[in-house]
Amino acid sequence: MHNDLLTIGPVTLHGYGLMIAIGVIAAYMTAEYRAKKMGLNYELIFNLTLWCFVGGMIGARILFYITQIKEIFDDPSLLLAPDGFVVYGGIIGGIFAGFLFCRKEKVNFLQYFDLTMPSIALAQGFGRLGCFLAGCCYGKETTSRFSLIFPEGSYAPHGIRLIPTQLISSGLDFLHFFILIVLAKRVKADGQIAGFYLMFYSGGRFILEFFRGDLERGSVGSISTSQFIAIFLFVIGCGIVMISELRARKVRLQSK
């Protein structure tokens, strides 16, 4: 709710950027720790994190441009605006960059896909706290006591009660992380944890979008761009889980 945390001379520490940095570091440390326990090459995790981070930032920016294409045609200077990212673009871009990295290093993509997705959920939890501090990704106006009132200077409208979508999303992301960690100890088929991530995140995001008040994400018909993408990623997640299970069963039958 207060994005400018500390100012020293010309340098200002912003809460949004700080939370993003904490999220990336937490994701990296968690993934490296779990890679060691899973017998994967943990020395690759640092570079994998960098690839996914850069790919995620590029993807998030591209999807923002797509959702704002009409406004950009009217005002091309928006292409140089410092803010403007869409989470789903970050997820897609990060996954694609991770796939390219695994191909480059000649390692099993699905194993590292499963390894990294719980860490992505963890990073998103911190990222949404950054949204809360900046006031972006805000909720609709409400009369409920379960609300937030942002101060002047925030991205969110100030002085009115808004649904705390940032905090709800952050809480769901942290819960998502812990659920995936628990499932990872029980699921044996490669790719299923990643599939569950896509299912859980897309389902939660689709519902939460109904309570969002910002309109910068674009729309497809009567639903937001994020809801439109969520439908496809949920189906893809279901497909990954089912196909992975069928492959695992086939391997088990062949080994008997």
CA distance 178 to 170: 13
Model confidence pLDDT, tens digit, residues 164-184: 999 999 999 999 999 999 999
> Please, what is the end-to-end C-alpha distance for the chain in angstroms?
59
CA distance 194 to 206: 18
Confidence grade of residue 28 (pLDDT, cut at 50, 70, 90):
very high
> Bridge-partner residues for 162, per DSSP?
141, 148
The two tokens of residue 142 are: 């409400």
Q: Averaged over 224-247, what is the pLDDT?
A: 93
- Using the 8-state DSSP alphabet, how is residue 202 labeled? H
Query: pTM to 2 decimals?
Result: 0.89
Question: 3-class SS at 79?
Answer: helix
Confidence grade of residue 195 (pLDDT, cut at 50, 70, 90):
very high
For residue 255, pLDDT beyond 80: no
CA distance 49 to 135: 27
Question: 3-class SS at 151?
Answer: coil
Model confidence pLDDT, tens digit, residues 114-133: 999 999 999 999 999 999 99
Q: Averaged over 139-162, what is the pLDDT?
A: 90
Question: 3-class SS at 100?
Answer: helix
Neighbour count for residue 202 (Cβ, 10 Å): 24
Q: What is the CA radius of gyration of the chain?
A: 19
CA distance 96 to 184: 22
> Bridge-partner residues for 224, per DSSP?
219
> Bridge-partner residues for 161, per DSSP?
149
Which has the closest alpha carbon to 86: 64, 69, 70, 66?
Answer: 64
CA distance 124 to 87: 9
Alpha helices by DSSP H, listed for the chain, are 15-38, 45-67, 69-74, 87-105, 109-134, 165-184, 192-208, 225-255
Model confidence pLDDT, tens digit, residues 35-82: 999 999 999 999 999 999 999 999 998 888 888 787 778 878 777 776
pLDDT computed for residue 256 by the predictor = 63
